[in-house]
Structure 1
Amino acid sequence: MALAMAYAIAYARKASSQLQRFIVYLLLSMMNSMLIGPLFYYMFKISIVRAAEVSAFAMMIEVIPFLGKFLSDVMNERSGSKTFLYIYTGIFVILDEIIMSLDFNLISGLQNSLNLYSVIYSLSSYWFVFPMAFEMFLSAFLLRKDINKFMIIVFSVQAAVMLLMPVIFSGFWVPVSIYLSGAIMTGFFIYMFEHLYRKQSISSSSGRYIIWLLTGYSLMMGSIFLWQYNGSLILISISMIIYMSIYLNGILRYSFNDKKFFWIANRRWSLIYMIMVFVSEFFMGATFDAQYYGATPFISSMNLAAVSGTFYNIMASSLYDFIAFFGITALSTWFLIMMGIEMGSLVVFRLKSAHPENRIRLILMLCAYAIYSVLIPSFIIPNNSKIPFIGWSMGIGSGGPVAPDLIIPIVLTYVISGLLSFFFGSRQMCSVFCTAPVMYQGTFYDSMKKFNRSGKISKSITLSNRSGKLIYRIISLMVYSSIGMAAVISFLDSIHATSLYIYGTDPEYMLYIFYFGVLWYLVFITMPVLGSYACINTGYCHWGNFNRFISRFGFFRLKVKDPSACLTCKTKDCATACPVGNHEMPGSFIKNGYYKDSRCIGIGDCLEACPNDNIFFYDVRQYLRKKITKNENLDATK
């Protein structure tokens, strides 16, 4: 039956004549009627003869209208639209699968009645999932010559994820299916990012389908998370129907070889794509965490508030729960591991073409992410709030309230990080230790810096014009004020002078969750609107602001070997390549021989873009080398 339906799907896509369409109607109607008879036999305890009669009657009812339409179209020489064929095929494929699943569950004794629960149960059983996945694999294989390679891979991944639905497994195989399906999707995201980066364009129908696929996958992962928590199968059943409907709609209707568009020039599509990728990753990370820690302990650790009482209380508690759930999940161990593998792979792809100096920084950045952001705080020193520079993430504090015994670690955190910025520039934080550079500097995401100058908002923020500077000042002032006030309240709470908590959560910790678990990701996924590195250009990251301020007085700067080369340079690629908008570089190079600005965080794109290989980093290393060798003319080439 699954083989026949896969063939019907492929034949429906190719059907060009009325006869071919009628064959599809006939094939699907026959299968439907063959399945209805056994359903009546087991549900209503009728005889085999009566069951055969039910099947024959059902087939007659279903086929006769289409036979009449076929004869009418043939006699009137009308080709007609294929829309009805596609809708009919999609509905009957899913309907036949549902009935077949009910039949097998009844035969095997897994169900003994027909009601809403039995239908929901049948949709989440292997009798539904396995045939569906098989049909997806096989129909894509049958149509491999009519669909481009990229979409064949997309369909195959979609089928593999369907095949690994955890609700159809038990025991040891449940976590295996969750982690394996997540690994497949993570690998697929990497492939998709790199494909878009290399090709720079995508067909219109492929672009639409990718958005729908990510929507369906997000719903599916969200429903799995809910199932892990309370065992509900309703949303999973609905999500699988939607997931399969997306597949059928795409493989039947879309050409995938139509007009292409450059995604980097399409802000709307890129924004929707970024949002849906993140939503998919978010629920995938939540599912991993729920599987690893247990769904109930994971939710309990969030200290969510009860949603009840007056309208104001309901709204306030709902907002708090959203921020807590969103932020804690986005800062959780398995979410960071998944994002590190995904984004880190794109950085590895970039290493091959990176400037030698930049290659070293990128490797240090990957190591810092793995060790500093994941390994140490999650697996080696879970309670690290008293350790300077480790336990106080982003300079706010992820370990708890600002208590008296934690004042020294907090102060030392600023001292240590400040000294590193003084010696090596703020790149030690904004381009190495922070999690942001791993996400910004992979091949695909680095290419999105082209949005920096293509939109009114992103251009204003990146180039720091009058309105951009005003935005920076207002936001940075608000951030510093909020962090300062929250720190004072947190300290007073810790010494029991006050008792001001947000639904039992320390205000400084809550602010950390909001700024770096919620707001940071909102800034990141809106790159097509706000531009790349909006965390720097909007001034919302106080930790980056602090390190950039210290860097102004330190050794770090960009220098050139020959200022005259900049004078004759016609392209000024260094300025256009900078993702944070340091467009004043060429003028400063010509005038001073170096460039120093608080917004320069040593990303190194200017080094790679310079057509004369003229730019190099200068920091305490070069300073000491000159002092030791007493050679004032020593530069990066020596």
Structure 2
Amino acid sequence: MNYDMWILGLIAGLMGIFTSYILYLSRTAENPLRKIITYILLAMMNGMLLGPSIYLSGVITISLEDAIVISAGLMAIEIIYPLILFVRSIEQEDIEIRISIPVIIFLTLLNEFLMSLDFNSIILSKTIFTIYGTSFVALISQTVSSFWFIFPMALEMGLTAIFTIRKGEKIAFIFIIFQSLVMFFTPTAIPQNTWISISVFAGGAVMTALLIFIFESLYRESYVNKNFSRYLLQILLIYGLMMIGVMIFQYESSVLIVSIAVLLEMIVYINAILRKNYFSGKGKVYWLANKEWSTLFLMDVFIAEFAMGATFDFQYYGTSFFINSLHLAVFSGSIINMITEFFYNTVVFVGGITGSSWFLIMMGFEMGSLVVFKIMKTRELENKIRLGLMIGAYGIYSILIPSFLVTNSRIYPFIGWSMGIGTAGGLAPALIIPMLLTYVISGSLSLLFGARQLCSVFCTAPLMYQGTFYDSMKKFNRTTPTAKKLSTGGERNLIYRVVSFTIYISLAVAALFSFLYHYHILNYEIYGTDPLFFMYIIIFDIMWYAVFLTMPYFGNYGCINTGYCHWGNFNRFVGKYGLFKLKVKDPSQCVTCKTKDCALACPVGLSSQPGSFISQGQFKNSRCVGVGDCVEACPYENIFFYDVRNFLKEKVMKKE
């Protein structure tokens, strides 16, 4: 048994507890003496650790006794300033002593850094110079990314949250506890395959749970503390950087980006925790009226999700195997060639991640949880069933079958070709009939049940749009000028016409090139990738997320209101001639209704339901995809869905 490791671990833990208490004192200090004590304690710790660092450095040779003397001397020097402040506070009772937050942050991190540096040297039985050489970057990054730094920091983060955050700061408290767990599961802490594998998936699970918690908290409390809203954006952006760092670590064992992210996170955290009432101040942000903040939040979340999905893929498949499977182009030739190769590689890499099994699994757990919360709040049984089917369809149809059960899913209609032309590959001869069958099957379902079969069940998008948090963002449909124009204009809107036409032409041209290539009429590929499949990656695996992330500007269900999704456009066009519609039990009830909640609840932004219900007793619109929020919102429970089931029931009743 390595007793040195256990002893040093105990010391590191005690120092973590001690530092947490010092930070607590710093935050709550009211009288001059307590403020000065925090300086003295941090300065003494710093001096105590500097002596061993010099002794272990290997740059100069000194005895252990000399190291102790140096530590004592440094401690004495560093406490001179706090002692001067103490004397002044006695002589002048009304003097105000302020705690310098940057100094406390610097001393706290420096102490943890020196401890990590010293303990690494002791455990490895090597001098610091022997371990890191002359590279200052290696010295900093490897020390910060080691478990001697990571684990005490995680402990300090959790303990300071317990010590300092009050009842009025519940969301911030839970968020920081999650933060400490994410910090603990930093993959670079222990550079061993078992730990890396465990920490990647465990840390990802904790981060996913953290995001779910934040989503649901924002849904329940539209007004967020102003400081916490800023803190939230900063930490999420740092998490994105950290996940990118983990990707790089998995690929080439570099810990630089991870260490930068760890330091930034601790700076942001300590700065917040030292400020009294930071998370419980009076300033509030109504995020549903702040499209800039909401957009930044969505982008921060997506960056973290994207990089986290990539770390899952790298860990599960192996970094080299996964990257090689993307068939990236090799940089060569002229500058123009290299620019096009860079563009191609970016598209294929980003699309390879967003379309990968593990990214979709992670998103499924995250978004699916929000849908489960919505099911719990939903009154109508049919809506509950549809939301349940939507989760099941996502898991089975988007992940399980194409990724794990069917090795060549593209040849099976309505599995491989889930989003129409281009989904699973080029327009090869063997795939034309399955692709056409997909249109027949999906179109038939839209005739019978409306486009809701796609836009509210089978497509991956509704899982993302219809959870509690994202559903609440439909308010932007009526408050943001562009979103309002899109939701009210429909297919007549110029943006809709331009976007849908551009998508149709792009896919048609790519399909033509793909068809000619597979029939050996034209030898054209994009660095080995079929042009139709490449276009599909751009449209659905990359640009779709741009539409989704700009929801505060373009509104909820931008894929419908902008005409962006050609597959949805096709099914909604067919659905116009089908049986699906919304009907009311009693049109006269709509005449006396003063709330018009059905229109306000529509996530697509449709607003003509009340008038149509009054005049016709029903509502039919190509952009109505049967989400059911209007049915749920009606205070009289007057609205119901009408589709092939009702049609057949009426036919049977007539015969009887």
Normalising by the smaller structure, the TM-score range is: over 0.9
Q: 1:301 corresponds to which letter in structure 2?
A: S
Q: 1:42 corresponds to which letter in structure 2?
A: L
Q: 2:512 corresponds to which letter in structure 1?
A: V
Per the alignment, residue 242 of structure 2 pairs with 220
Deviates more, 1:365-374 or 1:623-632: 623-632
1:454-496 alpha-carbon deviations (Å, 9 max, x no partner): 0111111111179x71110111011001101100101111122
CA apart distance, 1:504:
2.2
Per the alignment, residue 122 of structure 1 pairs with 143
1:115-150 alpha-carbon deviations (Å, 9 max, x no partner): 422432222221111111111122222114376121
TM-score normalised by length of structure 1: 0.95
Per the alignment, residue 450 of structure 2 pairs with 425
CA apart distance, 1:77:
5.3
Q: Say yes or no: does 1:235 pair with 2:257.
A: yes
User: Quick check: 1:560–1:593 contact (8 Å CA) kept in 2?
Assistant: yes
CA apart distance, 1:360:
1.4
Per the alignment, residue 635 of structure 1 pairs with none
User: Quick check: 2:35–2:97 contact (8 Å CA) kept in 1?
Assistant: no
* TM-aligned CA distance change 1:600 to 1:248, over 3 Å: same
Q: 2:627 corresponds to which letter in structure 1?
A: I
Per the alignment, residue 38 of structure 2 pairs with 24
SS in 1 for 2:543: helix
Among 162, 180, 205, the alignment partner of 2:227 is 205
Among 150, 157, 163, the alignment partner of 2:178 is 157
Per the alignment, residue 518 of structure 1 pairs with 542
CA distance in 1, matches of 2:456, 2:236: 30
Per the alignment, residue 4 of structure 2 pairs with none
1:266-295 alpha-carbon deviations (Å, 9 max, x no partner): 222111111111111111111111110111
Q: Say yes or no: does 1:579 pair with 2:603.
A: yes
CA distance in 2, matches of 1:313, 1:186: 39
Per the alignment, residue 7 of structure 2 pairs with none
CA distance in 2, matches of 1:423, 1:593: 20
Per the alignment, residue 391 of structure 2 pairs with 366
SS in 2 for 1:108: helix
Q: 2:225 corresponds to which letter in structure 1?
A: S
Q: 1:512 corresponds to which letter in structure 2?
A: Y
Among 608, 617, 623, the alignment partner of 2:647 is 623
Alignment of 1:386-425 (within 5 A): 386-425=411-450
Q: 1:249 corresponds to which letter in structure 2?
A: N
CA apart distance, 1:503:
2.4
Alignment of 1:116-515 (within 5 A): 116=136, 117-145=138-166, 148-169=169-190, 170-253=192-275, 255-258=278-281, 259-354=283-378, 355-464=380-489, 469-515=493-539
* TM-aligned CA distance change 1:491 to 1:564, over 3 Å: same
User: Quick check: 2:422–2:535 contact (8 Å CA) kept in 1?
Assistant: no
CA apart distance, 1:263:
1.6
CA distance in 2, matches of 1:147, 1:218: 28
Q: 1:10 corresponds to which letter in structure 2?
A: Y
CA distance in 1, matches of 2:181, 2:174: 10
User: Quick check: 1:383–1:399 contact (8 Å CA) kept in 2?
Assistant: no
Q: Say yes or no: does 1:91 pair with 2:91.
A: no
User: Quick check: 1:17–1:79 contact (8 Å CA) kept in 2?
Assistant: no
Deviates more, 1:516-525 or 1:70-79: 70-79
SS in 1 for 2:224: strand
CA distance in 2, matches of 1:151, 1:592: 51
Deviates more, 1:312-321 or 1:43-52: 312-321
Q: Say yes or no: does 1:48 pair with 2:64.
A: yes
Q: Say yes or no: does 1:537 pair with 2:552.
A: no
Deviates more, 1:140-149 or 1:393-402: 140-149
1:198-217 alpha-carbon deviations (Å, 9 max, x no partner): 12221111111111110111
User: Quick check: 1:36–1:99 contact (8 Å CA) kept in 2?
Assistant: yes
SS in 1 for 2:340: helix
CA apart distance, 1:239:
1.5
CA distance in 1, matches of 2:332, 2:79: 54
* TM-aligned CA distance change 1:308 to 1:93, over 3 Å: farther
SS in 2 for 1:553: coil
SS in 2 for 1:617: strand
Deviates more, 1:498-507 or 1:596-605: 498-507
CA distance in 2, matches of 1:422, 1:10: 64
SS in 2 for 1:393: coil
CA apart distance, 1:49:
2.3
Q: 2:415 corresponds to which letter in structure 1?
A: I
Computed over aligned residues only, the root mean square deviation of the Cα atoms, in angstroms, reads 1.9
Q: Say yes or no: does 1:568 pair with 2:592.
A: yes
User: Quick check: 2:238–2:261 contact (8 Å CA) kept in 1?
Assistant: yes
1:278-318 alpha-carbon deviations (Å, 9 max, x no partner): 11111111111111011111112222223454443333222
CA distance in 2, matches of 1:313, 1:67: 66
Q: 2:204 corresponds to which letter in structure 1?
A: G
CA apart distance, 1:321:
2.0
CA apart distance, 1:599:
0.7
Per the alignment, residue 105 of structure 1 pairs with 120
Give ranges in structure 2 of 5+ residues lacking alignment: 1-14
CA distance in 2, matches of 1:631, 1:81: 91
CA distance in 2, matches of 1:465, 1:406: 34
Per the alignment, residue 612 of structure 1 pairs with 636
CA apart distance, 1:111:
4.3
Q: Aligned pairs, how many?
A: 630
1:532-559 alpha-carbon deviations (Å, 9 max, x no partner): 0000000010000000000011111111
Q: 2:237 corresponds to which letter in structure 1?
A: T
1:374-416 alpha-carbon deviations (Å, 9 max, x no partner): 1100110031111111111310233321111111011101010
CA apart distance, 1:74:
5.6
CA distance in 2, matches of 1:606, 1:234: 51
CA distance in 1, matches of 2:159, 2:41: 17
Q: 1:209 corresponds to which letter in structure 2?
A: Y
SS in 1 for 2:568: helix
SS in 2 for 1:352: helix
SS in 2 for 1:437: helix
CA apart distance, 1:18:
2.8
CA distance in 2, matches of 1:312, 1:16: 64
* TM-aligned CA distance change 1:147 to 1:630, over 3 Å: closer
User: Quick check: 2:490–2:496 contact (8 Å CA) kept in 1?
Assistant: no
User: Quick check: 2:247–2:307 contact (8 Å CA) kept in 1?
Assistant: yes
TM-score normalised by length of structure 2: 0.93
CA distance in 2, matches of 1:284, 1:416: 35
CA apart distance, 1:101:
0.8
Q: 1:102 corresponds to which letter in structure 2?
A: L
